[in-house]
Structure 1
Amino acid sequence: MIALEAGSTYIKGGALGPDGVLRNKERWFTRPERGPDAVLETVLTCAATLAERCRPTAAGIILPGTVDETSGRAVHTPALGWRDLPVRDWVAEHLDLPVAVGHDGRAGGLAEARSGAGRDCGNFLFVSVGDGIGTTVVLAGRVPPTTGHGAQELGHTEVRPGGDPCHCGKQGCLETVASSSAVTHRYARATGWRGIGAREVYHRADAGDPAALAVCGEAMVALADVLAAAIGRYAPERLIVGGELAEAGASLLAPLREALTSRLGLPAVPDLRLARFGETAGRMGAALLARDLQDARAGR
């Protein structure tokens, strides 16, 4: 199975082997400023590159924004400039393979529920912090259908009125403060350092860099502002943090836990854990969607 995760900065790929290990992990720049058609061509090229290398029997692709998983359409994906795009049909025709299309947050939640940090937990909230920020609630060990409960684009919740512009067209969204690209941009703006990614900023914060501590601290406070409402609604047993933030290690969970405690009170704060699959949780979930599709077609 091959897996693709399309985000505003990178298109990430990988292949799931029979042993359940994700290999051939690679990433390519998305460059959404080129326009939606060019982004689609890049996605198709990346998919073909992986398929040629891995000889898959099915493919999974996950996207941010609003996704119709049944029809395989990107209903509204501002990060890529896509609206009502039949992604599944395009990729399936290009690869001549069955293709599953899903939401990035839901896919990450699926991976963690089946064999990750949520495997032994009935109800948990998965939050993915990378190019975008989305959450998925897992109930009784299952990711519910997209209707009702399910993935939420919390990254486009306004947290700083009049703040930095977001690609969704609004200002001051959570993604402009707490996403990987926002952390990178805000650190560069504060220090003049260029070419430093979010992971490095997280590590600098852990090492005591004042500017990194300020940027990451504000990101955790903004994230807690939004997650507190979701925790109050779903009362999960566990909060699992994935995406690039998970790669920073447990050090950033402390300020997030502290911020949540100040908003909810200690008894209401769920057990906080890092995603087992880290920033590959989405791709692992995409591969699982592809495998599920193949099994369904085979009647298994």
Structure 2
Amino acid sequence: MSILKLKPSCKDYIWGGSRLAEEYGKECDKEVIAETWELSCHPDGPSYIVNGPYVGKTLKQYIDIEGRDVLGVNCRRFRDFPILTKFIDAKDNLSIQVHPDNRYALKNEKQYGKTEMWYVMDAGEEAFLYYGFKREVSKEEFAKRIQEDTLLEVLHAVPVQKGDVLFIESGTIHAIGKDILIAEIQQNSNVTYRVYDYGRVGKDGKKRDLHIEKALAVTNRVPIVKGRNSYPHVADCDYFTVDKLNLDGNVMKKLEGNVSGASFASILMLDGEGTISNGNERLSFKKGDSFFLAAGSGTYTVEGSCDALITTIREKAAPVRIGIDIGGTTTKIGLVDIHQQLLACEEMDTDPDRTAEAVIEEIAQRVLGLLERQGILMDQCIGAGIGVPGTVDRKSGIVRYSNNMKWEDVKLAEKIGVYLPIPVRIANDADCAALGEAAAGAGKECQDVIMLTLGTGVGGGIILDGEIYEGKGIGGSELGHMVIVEDGEPCTCGRRGCLEAYVSASALIRDAKRALGKEMTPEEIFAGASGGNEVLKDIVDLYIRRLGIGIVNIVNIFRPQLVLIGGGISAQGENLLGPLREIVKKNCFGGEKGELPEIETAALGKNAGMIGAASLI
């Protein structure tokens, strides 16, 4: 059994009409049919099998029983069934909306984002849809226009007619206008952020929810210059390839196709009637029918007259990003997938006594070797992110100064781009570690995260709205160099009284040596304090108070959801965190009457920098 005829789930959204029932024979117990989900494994609306031994089962149940081989080799890169196919009858205007990309949706919605395409099956004489902005708008103007109900003034209204195709990439603001009938092929997602809805109310009599904050975070506010050229296909992207089949029943009344082991085929009949056959199977079709042909089905034949869309998944590995964490002694290289998981990684000695060119060349060669060993082609990589210690100009891709690396004005992005022909982004290593924790570690449920790394020095990263905050200049944040004691201990930066001069591991070791005359590790110092050594207890208490002062200052300024402690000293766990929480509770402005952040230890360890660097892409 290789041809499955499918019955859709139906949706009765308030803007829908009756054409799908009257003209396409869709059966539903609802008065309005806005959408029919023709090819779907989504739990919000599965499609059902109406022929053969699996009749009555959902498409997902069939796949679960038969195994994922029925989807084809090209679908191995997807965690879930990759696409969702719909018919849409817009009797009235749909809401103005936007869909997030995979990264944002997986983090915030626990499902994929949505890139989609529309094929206009029919449209009224004055029909149009909204597709992006007329001009670039700022985030502030976008938010203001939503609030003031003037958003439509800056949206691009596109007249449409039968046969038009639009490709809507994630992040594109859009809406289907009234009096339009559409076939939609999209990523398998049901995530939509509504920003304007004409003041309509739902079935409960209340205005439908808007999702303004999320929309502000994901919308591309730059006009779409031109449509996506997918020739010779109707549409083609990492998630689906769509081709058009047209048989006029006279000159062209028969077509043979082939479904290889690479991908299943979805055939959506837009118009006409006839038969579809594969081997000994032969089924009739009419307009509106939807068929699924399992991967490896072989030759199939369509006879009669029809317009149809045939959707397959082309060969393309899951998007892979390269994350590189450059350190003064060791550099870590990782391959990261869309789920923020490390696929593979390796380390190399950095040796800062070598020239920057030599280090960069070895890093690039190591990356190429890692890709080769993993069987990943370069064109399957969507970019490389690099974290490097020091002052970094992210916009120009230049390391302005790195004391650890002895680098000055090194064009890192440009130089590594000679070996890796993909987009390259760079940032400070502490910022990357913070971004990694926010993307996949202890802060993955938060948008606003501050991280302090307590090691030889004190590094810090600020993540606001899911992005690295670095201000308008270069260099990013230097949390370790806020002054907490006027004219205090000398700091490595040349000033006195910095947080780093009191709460780095080096500072803790220094204070213990002053008091006891011997070198001790931070672990030994904390252990001695817990064991009753009063001198060490006083040292640890003062250390925690100084760290608490720094955290209080940070919280009063940024009001994050979470403060993370990383670096070697974070291994002290609750011995460190418990007292810090009390200091923050007691000393933060507003105290417990405000929203105090959680204070936790970082979770990713040495992997944070690689994952964070990859997340720059």
Q: What is the Cα deviation at residue 116 of structure 1?
A: 2.0
Cα distance change of structure 1 residues 80 and 228 upon mapping to structure 2, 3 Å threshold: farther
Match among 328, 334, 340 for residue 15 of structure 1:
334
Q: What is the Cα deviation at residue 179 of structure 1?
A: 2.0
Match among 598, 602, 616 for residue 271 of structure 1:
598
Q: What is the Cα deviation at residue 153 of structure 1?
A: 0.3
Separation of aligned partners in 2, 1:23 and 1:104: 20
2:575 counterpart SS class: helix
Aligned 1:26-105 pairs, distance under 5 A: 26=347, 28=349, 38=354, 40=356, 43-44=359-360, 47=363, 50-51=366-367, 54-55=370-371, 57=378, 59-93=384-418, 99-105=424-430
Aligned length, in residue pairs: 281
Cα distance change of structure 1 residues 92 and 218 upon mapping to structure 2, 3 Å threshold: farther
Instruction: Tell me if structure 2 keeps the 8 A contact 1:134–1:151.
Output: no
TM-score (norm 1): 0.74
Separation of aligned partners in 2, 1:12 and 1:183: 26
Q: Which residue of 1 aligns with 2:223?
A: none
1:55 counterpart SS class: helix
Instruction: Tell me if structure 1 keeps the 8 A contact 2:389–2:402.
Output: yes
2:615 counterpart SS class: helix
Structure having the larger proportion of residues in helix: 1
Higher relative contact order (CA 8 A, sep 6+): 1
Q: What is the Cα deviation at residue 191 of structure 1?
A: 4.5
2:470 counterpart SS class: coil
Separation of aligned partners in 2, 1:219 and 1:25: 35
Instruction: Tell me if structure 2 keeps the 8 A contact 1:206–1:251.
Output: no
Separation of aligned partners in 1, 2:331 and 2:485: 30
Q: Which residue of 1 aligns with 2:577?
A: 253
Separation of aligned partners in 2, 1:22 and 1:245: 28
Instruction: Tell me if structure 2 keeps the 8 A contact 1:134–1:152.
Output: no
Q: Which residue of 2 aligns with 1:208?
A: 531
Q: What is the Cα deviation at residue 143 of structure 1?
A: 1.0
Which segment drifts farther, 61-70 or 206-215?
A: 206-215
Letter in 1 for 2:587: R
Q: Does 1:152 align with 2:477?
A: yes
Separation of aligned partners in 1, 2:505 and 2:607: 15
Q: What is the Cα deviation at residue 136 of structure 1?
A: 3.4
Separation of aligned partners in 1, 2:322 and 2:541: 36
Give unmatched runs, 5+ long, in structure 1: 293-300
Q: Which residue of 2 aligns with 1:129?
A: 454
Instruction: Tell me if structure 2 keeps the 8 A contact 1:14–1:22.
Output: no
Q: What is the Cα deviation at residue 187 of structure 1?
A: 3.9
Q: Which residue of 2 aligns with 1:242?
A: 566
> Which of the pair has more CA radius of gyration?
2
Cα distance change of structure 1 residues 257 and 73 upon mapping to structure 2, 3 Å threshold: same
Separation of aligned partners in 2, 1:281 and 1:202: 27
Separation of aligned partners in 1, 2:447 and 2:550: 23
Q: Which residue of 1 aligns with 2:553?
A: 229
- Percent of residue pairs identical: 28
Separation of aligned partners in 1, 2:362 and 2:506: 22
Q: What is the Cα deviation at residue 126 of structure 1?
A: 2.7
Q: What is the Cα deviation at residue 16 of structure 1?
A: 3.0
Q: Does 1:171 align with 2:509?
A: no
Separation of aligned partners in 1, 2:490 and 2:549: 19
1:260 counterpart SS class: helix
Q: Which residue of 2 aligns with 1:297?
A: none
TM-score (norm 2): 0.39
Q: What is the Cα deviation at residue 79 of structure 1?
A: 4.5
Q: What is the Cα deviation at residue 192 of structure 1?
A: 5.2
Separation of aligned partners in 1, 2:580 and 2:348: 29
Separation of aligned partners in 1, 2:351 and 2:495: 22
Which segment drifts farther, 46-55 or 268-277?
A: 46-55
Give unmatched runs, 5+ long, in structure 2: 1-320, 373-377
Instruction: Tell me if structure 1 keeps the 8 A contact 2:481–2:500.
Output: yes
Q: What is the Cα deviation at residue 253 of structure 1?
A: 0.7
Q: Does 1:113 align with 2:113?
A: no
2:332 counterpart SS class: strand
Cα distance change of structure 1 residues 29 and 81 upon mapping to structure 2, 3 Å threshold: closer
Q: What is the Cα deviation at residue 231 of structure 1?
A: 0.9
Separation of aligned partners in 2, 1:40 and 1:74: 10
Which segment drifts farther, 130-139 or 235-244?
A: 130-139
Instruction: Tell me if structure 2 keeps the 8 A contact 1:30–1:42.
Output: no
Superposed CA RMSD in Å reads 3.7
